[in-house]
Amino acid sequence: MGSAEEQHPAYLWWNGERRRWGDATVHVTDLGWSTVGAVFEGIRAYWNETSEALYIFRLQEHLERLARSMKLVRLPLHYPLDELTSVIIDLLHVNDVREDTYIRPLAYGANTSGKRLSQGSSESALLINTSPMATHLKTGLTMTAKVSSWRRISEDVMPPRVKNLSNYRNGQLASMEARLDGYDTALLLNRGGTVAEAPGACVMIVRDGRIITPDLSSSILESITRDALITLARDGLGIEVVERQIDRTELYLADEVFTCGTAAEITPVVSIDKYDIGSGTQGPVTAALETLFLRVLRGEEQAFAHWRTTVDVASPVGV
């Protein structure tokens, strides 16, 4: 890691090279259109103090989704995914990361200055940087939510299923509205009026012991956490999971509601539009899933070991 004043890792990776943080700069006129045309990923690595290893969660799936996002917005990907896997492992290693960390690949149209809407995608740039992000699992974090007056973007306007950077203005607007209105977060309905997502996270509800979550045609991101939790609930805990449209009123009447995602992990939503959800505290199904999920993330559970990429930070590395 860099010095305390710097508050950032020593290295990042940009366009094929590991570089010192301070050496990776762009000209100010490159801002704007290059980010309109960007896609990104958000990946977590969890530190295990006992094994002195970092475990990256479902790295392969995240890189595959990055490739899908790039394909959809017609940005060429110049690196095989195996190379990007090595790049990320190397970055965590040389930065001597010994804490829970967020890994952020960003692909964008390069040299877009002055090109505006005619921006072709023949040139793409790729940045990968990391920053500390502690888990909030098992800290007791809960949220209140409001059903947003903003609808989630739909397939005929923007591509909800990939991590297209411009999509996120939608979630930001919903989030700002919710916070100004005194709630912690928002829940967005899709164009059809059924439940889609929270800003930057998927949604699951529990009713009569079953987990229900919006299906992949509900204008949601193809979430890797959602997929993992469906598997953990079914195969790890023996809980039935149903993927289908969810009506707004089902939110209010649910026994439990939680959001899930790489950043959101599992976050219980205990009140929506001032309706208490269940008892108004975290429910038992959410708690059981949270316990199992954290064990998997930290490398304490052998059953889902194939989801983890190990970074052996303690072994020597040539910088």
Which residues are marked as active site?
A: 163
Nearer Cβ to ligand PMP (115/244): 244
**Looking at residue 151, what DSSP letter applies?**
P
Place of tokens 């599992």: 266
Does 201 engage in binding with ligand PMP (CB under 6 A)?
yes
Short-list 263, 308, 314, 309, CA closest to 85: 309
* Interface with ligand PMP, residue 265, by CB under 6 A: no
Q: Which helix (H) or strand (E) holds 98?
A: none
User: Is residue 105 close enough to count as binding ligand PMP by CB under 6 A?
Assistant: no
Interface mask toward ligand PMP for 19-58; x: CB under 6 A:
-----------------------x----------------
Q: Exactly one of 146, 226, 298, 308 binds ligand PMP (CB under 6 A); which one? A: 226
Minimum CB separation from ligand PMP for residue 42, in Å? 5
Binding test (CB under 6 A) with ligand PMP, winner from 39, 54, 221, 230: 221
CA distance 107 to 123: 10
Question: What's the closest the beta carbon of residue 208 comes to ligand PMP, in angstroms?
Answer: 25
Binding flag, residue 93, ligand PMP (CB under 6 A)? no
Task: Please report the beta strands in 209-285, taking only residues with DSSP state E, as ranges in sequence order.
Answer: 210-213, 241-243, 256-261, 265-272, 275-276
Q: Which of 243, 179, 185 is nearest to 216 (CA)?
A: 243
* Shortest Å distance, C-beta 199 to ligand PMP: 7
Tell me which stretch binds ligand PMP (CB under 6 A): 75-83, 172-180, 196-204, 286-294.
196-204
Based on the shown chain and the rule CB under 6 A, indicate whether residue 132 belongs to the binding site for ligand PMP.
no
The answer to whether the Cα torsion of 267, 272, 277, 280 is positive or negative is: positive
Choice between 201 and 270, CB closer to ligand PMP: 201
- Considering the complex, state which of residue 105 and residue 261 has its C-beta at the smaller distance from ligand PMP: 261
Minimum CB separation of residue 289 from ligand PMP in Å reads 14
**Which of 235, 169, 158, 228 is closest to 213 using CA atoms?**
228
Q: Which of 100, 184, 197, 256 binds ligand PMP (CB under 6 A)?
A: 197
Residue 198 is given by DSSP the state B
Residue 161 interacts with ligand PMP (CB under 6 A)?
Answer: no
Q: Of the ranges 17-25, 106-114, 216-224, 289-297, which one interacts with ligand PMP (CB under 6 A)?
A: 216-224
Closest separation in Å from C-beta 197 to ligand PMP: 5
Asked if 25 and 150 count as a contact pair (C-beta separation under 8 A), the reply is: no
Pick from 271, 281, 285, 29: nearest CA to 144: 271
Burial 52-86, CB ≥16 within 10 A → b, else e: ebbbbbbbbbbbebbbebbeebebebeeeeeebbe
Q: Which of 224, 246, 266, 311 binds ligand PMP (CB under 6 A)?
A: 224
Given 130, 144, 262, 267, the residue binding ligand PMP (CB under 6 A): 262
CB nearer ligand PMP, residue 185 or residue 225: 225
Structure tokens at 292: 């199992």
Residue type, 267: T
CA 51 vs CA 13, 24, 54, 55, 130: distances in Å: 26, 33, 9, 10, 21
| Selected binder of ligand PMP within 101, 194, 223, 286 (CB under 6 A) | 223
Q: Which residues bind ligand PMP (CB under 6 A)?
A: 42, 171, 197, 200-202, 221, 223-226, 261-262
